[in-house]
Structures are given as C-alpha cells and as structure tokens.
Amino acid sequence: MKKDIILCGVGGQGILSIATIIGEAATLAGLELKQAEVHGMSQRGGDVQSNLRLSTETIYSDLIPLGSCDLIISMEPMEALRYLPYLSREGVVVTSCKPFVNIPNYPDQEVLQAELKALPRVVQLDIEQVAREAGNPRGANVVLLGMAARYLEILTPEQLRQAIATIFARKGEAVVEANLKAFEEGYGHQGETE
C-alpha cells in the first residue's frame, strides 16, 4: 500500500507540524517514508508545501509526480487549488474553507469556493472556528489533520494519536491533551461537502 500526500498552506499555519506528526506515525507503523519540503518561503504568510510519501514498499523518490497525489491537506483553500495538477483522479482534497488573504490580488472567495466544489472529492471546514470552540485556537492544523485522518488509510487514527502524544510530550500534558482534543474535533467532522 502507498499513500502520496501534499501538505500546503502559508507560513505560520503549522503545515510542518502536521508533516512531523504524520512522519512520527509512519515511523511507529514501520512504514517507508520520503519527505520533500519547500519551507524556504515559510516566513509568516509565505507559501509552504511538503510532499509526504508513505508506503509498505520501498520508495525511490521523495517527489510526487503530477497526477498521482492521493490526498491534498491544505490549511488554506487557494493553496489547495495550486496543487490540483498533482491530484489523482481518485484523490481527495481536505482543506480549511477560510482564506488566508496574504496577497493583494487574492481570488474572489465565491470563485475559489466554486472551483473547490467542482472537484469530485473535497472536504472543507472552518478549522479555525472549530479549534477556538475546542479551546485550542492554535490547534487548527491538528483539527485539519483529524479531518484528513479517515483519508490517510495507510495510518490508523490511533497511530496518529500516539504520534501527537509523542510530538507534544515535551510541552506538557495539557498541550498533549489540547492537541488530542483538536484532533478528535476534526476527526468527528465530515466537513461541508464530499
């Protein structure tokens, strides 16, 4: 089994934290893992993207070819659209529905939503609001990971929970619990459309 994932968003949103959690879960599961990151532009507001390739077999490249991505996990709707050429026909987009307007010519939100809703498999949610309601406003990225968990398939939700506990352990039990709660909130939501 193999899963090719593109994580994307803008600097400061926690994309690389999601990559770290998935990477830890893959290690716990004994999977092969290749990762390629673009985070030189990761100052707050710049484009951040990471390719994650997970497999039960050997992986020879860390880059996902065009048209073969199984899952796009995006903190920001426009960034999800940026990587559509990589998405396979059966691929799923899991994204925040709220834009992070960081450029003067940011697309109209209605146009953006129309493009997303035209996709065959897209799940959207206001992850920032869910994180606030869960008492962890900085945990929107973990809410997003929870939403995406059912589409990862190669990793179980329990492996992701274990990885969250491991990654956040040094910050204390309260931080671990807050992030596990954010994950559960995301996991419990189906999002707006599919």
* DSSP, residue by residue, the chain: -EEEEEEEEETTS-HHHHHHHHHHHHHHHT-EEEEEEE-TT-STTSEEEEEEEEESS----SSPPTT-EEEEEESSHHHHHHTGGGEEEEEEEEEESS----STTPPPHHHHHHHHHTSSSEEEE-HHHHHHHTT-GGGHHHHHHHHHHHHH-SS-HHHHHHHHHHHHGGG-HHHHHHHHHHHHHHHH---S--
Contact status, residue 35 vs residue 19, Cβ threshold 8 Å: yes
d(CA 77, CA 178): 25
Identify whether the C-beta of residue 6 lies closer than 8 Å to the C-beta of residue 71: yes
Q: Which domains does the chain have, with CATH numbers?
A: 2-188 (3.40.920.10)
Compute φ and ψ for 121, nearest 5 degrees: -140, 95
Q: Is the pTM of this model over 0.85?
A: yes
pLDDT digit string, tens, across residues 32-59: 999 987 654 445 556 788 999 999 999 9
pLDDT in tens, 142-184: 999 999 999 999 999 999 999 999 999 999 999 999 999 999 9
Tell me how far apart the alpha carbons of residues 15 and 190 are, in angstroms, rounded to a whole number: 21
pLDDT tens-digit readout, 72-131: 999 999 999 999 999 999 999 999 998 887 778 888 889 989 999 999 999 999 999 999
